[in-house]
Amino acid sequence: MATARHAIIAGGGIGGLAAAVALNQAGIRATVYERGEDLRVGGAGLHLWTNAMLALESLGLTDAVRKTAPVQEFCEFRTWRGELLASWPVGEFVDRYGQPTVAIARSALHEVLQTGLTGTEVRTGTALTGFDQDADGVTARLSDGSTHRADLLVGADGIGSAVRAQLLGNTPPRYAGYVAWRGIADLGSEVIPAGSFRSIFGRGTRFVYYDIAPGRVHWMSVENGPAGGADGPGVLESIARRHLGWADPVQRIITATDESTVIRTDIVDRAPDAHWGQGRVTLLGDAAHPMSFNVGQGACQAIEDALVLAERLRTDDSVPAALAAYEDERKPRTASMQKAANILGKLGSWSNPLAVGTRHLLMRAGWERGAFKAIEADVRYGTRWASPAGRT
Ligand SMILES: Cc1cc2nc3c(=O)[nH]c(=O)nc-3n(C[C@H](O)[C@H](O)[C@H](O)COP(=O)(O)OP(=O)(O)OC[C@H]3O[C@@H](n4cnc5c(N)ncnc54)[C@H](O)[C@@H]3O)c2cc1C
């Protein structure tokens, strides 16, 4: 039996910071090592489903999130010609579960998480390079040559995790076969009404957009192709050509984008692992269960991980037993999302006209009811953290 008093967290992304806040609130001191020179994430946006908002509410962070993040009312799915395939009334979640689904700039979410870091030591510009563990603790090896001993180590160091590599081997992630370009455009609220989310399907291409602040739109253009490419000046023109003839406001959004905000990402994931931790070392977020963007839940699951990890450490005196219980609890949920995201990504990347027609027939038939029901069940998981006022 060894109660956890001090945790080392590798990685200061959304998962690492959420874990630091949750552990701190559970009475466990955390030290975060972030390899970047400062704590920041890219300029893109995120969809935060109600399950993650309920988790954030229990950390006391949703008032700050809701000050900046527009509440999503409807998630619409359309063809590139503008025909409606399905519409999900996600705005209803707030009445049913107490928190809305929102869209937020990553940097804004990161700032909110940082406000909860009281008592946490954050050391930037320092990467974790490896670890050793024994019956009494774990020693992290760091890029500055120093070591740091604690009761447990959490690898929240993303898809290329060094903690994961030592635990499970250095297998590269799996390329999904498509590339995403993300950007931010400033348009008036009259062009993009508040709470708009649209996912638009073409042939081997997609375009997704949603507002992350009044009149400020985060968008993503996705196209099948090889990994490893790079962009130069003129990337926006080539994105605009990809979506030529698509229904309004796709071209207006691309035109209103500042090219310097465009981020290109080869989309990768991993199949679920049978195990991810060992003894006093565990993984969290993308280090544990990377999933493609197709379910919009990667960061949401990292936040959920953080809460469950803190709960298990608070209630179980043995650190290895608490980490094993955390992993057992998180694996089924995150594995099913990894699989669903992979399948949805395959459907979304179909390019054969017959296949695309069939996909749209299927979406018209079942997306609005069947798929929404499944999404709502995923979201409902977060009610375990709902405040009594939100539990209706
Ligand atoms: C195109 C796209 C769209 C997405 N949309 C959504 C969405 O709408 N909603 C959603 O919930 N999720 C979404 N996701 C997924 C989401 O971005 C990730 O799941 C989430 O960012 C994972 O957070 P993380 O903290 O686990 O990892 P990361 O964000 O990768 O953070 C890891 C951190 O660890 C640091 N690090 C790495 N190695 C080391 C080391 N050795 N030592 C110390 N520090 C280290 C890194 O610098 C980084 O700061 C999307 C992803 C993509 C690619």
pLDDT at position 39 is: 86
In the block, residue with structure tokens 């990337």: 235
Secondary structure (3-state) at 374: helix
The pLDDT of residue 215 is: 86
Question: Among candidates 285, 275, 282, which has minimal Cα distance to 312?
Answer: 282
Average pLDDT over residues 354-380: 93
For residue 191, the one-letter residue type is V
Do 45 and 217 form a contact (C-beta atoms < 8 A)? no
116 and 103 Cβ atoms separated by less than 8 Å: no
187 pLDDT higher than 80: yes
pTM above 0.85, yes or no: yes
216-224 and 205-213 as β-strands: parallel, antiparallel, unpaired? antiparallel
- 119, 113 Cβ separation under 8 angstroms: no
Predicted pLDDT of residue 2: 61
Question: Please, what are the domains in the chain?
Answer: 6-173+269-390 (3.50.50.60)
Distance CA 236, CA 30 (A): 42
In contact, 89 and 95? CB cutoff 8 Å: no
Q: What is the mean pLDDT of the chain?
A: 94
For residue 286, report the distance from its CA to the centre of ligand 1, in Å: 6
Measure 264 CA to ligand 1 centroid, in angstroms: 15
Predicted confidence at residue 388, as pLDDT, reads: 61
- 175: which 2 tokens? 């390329």
Share above pLDDT 70 across residues of the chain, in percent, rounded to a whole number: 98
- pLDDT value at position 369? 86
pLDDT computed for residue 232 by the predictor: 87
Asked whether the predicted pLDDT for residue 1 surpasses 60, the reply is no
In the chain, the amino acid numbered 181 is: W
Nearest one of 105, 112, 111 to 43, comparing CA atoms: 105
What pLDDT score does 366 carry?
86
* Pairwise CA distance, residues 51 & 97, whole Å: 9
- Ligand 1 center–CA 12 separation, angstroms: 9
Give residue 143's pLDDT band: very low, low, confident or very high (50, 70, 90): very high
Among 38, 157, 222, name the best residue to mutate to test ligand 1's pocket (greatest count of ligand atoms within 8 A of Cβ).
157
The residue written with tokens 């409606």 in the block is 84
Residue 389's pLDDT is 53
pLDDT tens sequence across 164-182: 999 999 999 999 999 999 9
Atom of ligand 1 minimally distant from the CA of 299: 11
- Which atom of ligand 1 lies nearest, measured to the CA of 36? 47
In this structure, the strands spanning 174-186 and 263-269 are antiparallel
Residue 152's DSSP bridge partners are 7
Q: Give the pLDDT of residue 21.
A: 98
Q: How is residue 235 written in tokens?
A: 């990337």
Lining ligand 1 with CB less than 6 A are 10-16, 33-36, 46-47, 127-128, 156-158, 162, 180, 182, 220, 265, 285-287, 293, 296-300, 302
Ligand 1 atom closest to the Cα of residue 288 is 26
